[in-house]
Structure 1
């Protein structure tokens, strides 16, 4: 498509946008009384307007039914999470029985590592990406320490090639092959939080499993953003948060995927709790754990329905729109944002560069040269909500559900003004 850096062109794109009406399905914050340009759906998605009704329904059932709401609410609480599964399975490319909802992201990754990181004297190393999201780094190192291992020796961090801002798939495959039969686990962020790169999850999974390692993925920045086919890719396990591109609300519940070949195994190592038992036997209060034959076996406690309500509301929008349509718009609007950035760079050269490769979702990471923080502050005060990552990166995520092409054009004008004011050129 031939893009133009003009308001008329952007408005014409919006007029042709089949998803444009969904912008009205979300609440936008305001700065100085004006609706913001919101680029931070990769950190916290906007609130869907339908979510309030879902939460209110549970509050009403709690008020009117109290404990009986578990079984007699319109959406009974005891199996509330099951309503999320069909839509969620489509988003991540899993079978419904391979998907569950529980806890929060890092908790779930720890829980899954109980099952899938089983170090031996020979096979004990973990492979991740260089400078993984800090929570993942802390998690992996603490797991190694719990097993009496030294992270400096047992954790392999795959570095980017010298002078590059992103990886090649071969960087991971070579590191996996070099580790060989010492490698117990590959656990990587499927979309890198810093540079926005989408990794080749299928090829990396195949490479890890070829040497006998288990392979899991942190999909915090991938779920609801990129094409996922976890079952077909033969991924062992994965987990994701729901509050970024999936718009479920701050700190909300995490989803998990466990491949069907690991299901219905009563003797698999696992931390276990009451809600992981079969529904048919759960209320018999038996002394022995009787696992449900699905990913729900990794659940510990009854579902937090007040948290799941806005997640269910958001998933109804995903079900209505479908990932194919979201990704189609994502590709066009991200390309248009890239075009706008290139245009502004040509007009005010030397102030920034895009460090996100073409293998991407809807995030563009922009490395600012010189004193970048004043430009970030200028954008925020001007009503453009963006995300800052040390030492000098602004992350822009034009989420296709609610961002418009006019937003992209107007951002370019504000960015240019900000560069002229903060850089003086």
Structure 2
């Protein structure tokens, strides 16, 4: 399709958009009395209008039933987490039995590493990417220290080539082969938070397994954003937060994938608790742990129902629309945003540099843009004029037009505000 940088063309695209009505299902902040153009769904998604209803249901059940809500609420609390498995399985490409929801992202990665990071003899190293999201860096460093190793010896970081913004798949594969039988675990972010690059998870997973390592993925910026086939790819484990593209609310519950091949292992190492115990016998208070026959065996404490309620509200929309439709719109709206950026660049000679890969299969919803010659003043101007975006040092803005609630007119209007901000400076 040949794009045009006009309001009429943007309206035409919105009229053709089968998901356009979902914009009305979300609550937008306002700046100067107008709803914002929201580009930070890669950090915190907007609130679904249905979220309050789901939370209110829990509050009403708590008020009217108190402890009996565990069994007699409309959505009983004792198995509330089970409602996520089938729907999330469609989002991340896992079987329902391989999916559970609990805790928060980094907590879950730590818990999963208790199972999947088992250093022994010469096999003790972890391969990750350089400049991973800080929480992953801290988590991995603390794990190797917990097992008695030093970070400089046990953590191997794949680096980008000099003056390049993306990781090359061949460099990741070469590093995996180089570390070889010293590698216990490959643990990388599936979508790079800074550049928005989507890694070839299938190929990297196969490479990790070929040297006898376990392979896990941090899918914080991937879940609800890109196509995932965790089961088909043979991934050992993965975890993701729910408050970015999945719109569940700040700091909310994390989803986990645990490959079914680990479900029936009697001798598996796992940090265990009450809610992972055999559901049918959980309230018999037996002294010996009997794991659930699925990913729920990794549950520890009873579910945080109030936190999970808005996640379930959002997930209902994902199930209604389906990832293929979201990805179809995502591809078009990101391409249109890219076009707008290039058009504004030509009009004002701003010298933008989009550091997110241009190939559709190597990117999701996010475009990261170097603002050469522009400082944080431009970012501040955008924010003051109702464009909510994200700043990363030294001079990168991250733009994530989430397909559920961003419109093509938003992309056009953003371009006009961006042009004013550059000319003003």
TM-score normalised to the size of structure 1?
A: 0.98
Does residue 1:30 correspond to 2:30, yes or no?
Answer: yes
Partner of 1:21: 21
267-276 vs 348-357, greater mean Cα deviation: 348-357
Within-5 A mapping of 1:379-418: 379-418=382-421
Q: CA deviation at 1:252?
A: 0.4
Matches within 5 A, 1:13-412: 13-357=13-357, 358=359, 359-412=362-415
- SS class of match (1:203): helix
Distance 2:40 2:104 in 1: 20
Contact in 1 for aligned 2:350/2:422 (Cα 8 Å) = no
Q: What displacement does 1:351 show?
A: 3.6
Q: Distance in 2 between matches of 1:168 and 1:205?
A: 15
SS state at 2:71 partner: helix
The whole-number CA distance in structure 2 between the counterparts of 1:268 and 1:56 is: 40
Q: 1:128 and 1:372 mapped to 2: Cα distance?
A: 31
User: For residues 371 and 4 of structure 2, what CA distance do their matches in structure 1 show?
Assistant: 24
The separation in 2 between residues aligned to 1:248 and 1:264, in whole angstroms, is 31
Task: Map Cα deviations across residues 296-323 of structure 1 (whole Å, 9 max, x no partner).
Answer: 0110011111011101100100011000
Helix, strand or coil for the counterpart of 1:222? coil
Q: Which runs of 5+ in 1 are unaligned?
A: none
Runs (5+) with no aligned partner, structure 2? none
Deviation at 1:163, TM superposition (A): 1.3
- Whole-Å Cα distance in 1 between the matches of residues 423 and 64 of structure 2? 59
User: 1:121: Cα distance to partner?
Assistant: 2.1
Alpha-carbon shift at residue 350 of structure 1 (Å): 4.1
Supply the distance in 1 between the matched residues of 2:178 and 2:160 (Cα, whole angstroms). 16
Offset at 1:214?
0.3
Once the two structures are TM-superposed, the CA of residue 174 in structure 1 deviates from its matched residue by 0.5
Deviations 1:80-139 (A, max 9, x none): 111111111100000000000000000000000000000012101100111000000000
CA deviations 1:359-397 (Å, max 9, x no partner) are 100100001223421111010001000011122110000
Alignment deviations for residues 132-189 of structure 1 (CA, whole Å, 9 cap, x no partner): 0000000000001001101111111111111111111111100000000001100000
In 1, distance between residues paired with 2:175 and 2:423? Answer: 44
1:185-224 deviations in whole A, cap 9, x for unaligned?
0000000000000000000000000000000000000000
Residue in 1 aligned with 2:423? Answer: 420
Asked if the contact 2:129/2:157 (under 8 Å) is kept, the reply is yes
Contact 2:350 2:373 in 1 (8 A): no
TM-score (norm 2): 0.98
Per-residue Cα deviation, 1:256-287 (whole angstroms, up to 9, x for no partner): 00001011223211100000001111111111
Q: C-alpha separation between the residues in 1 aligned to 2:157 and 2:40?
A: 28
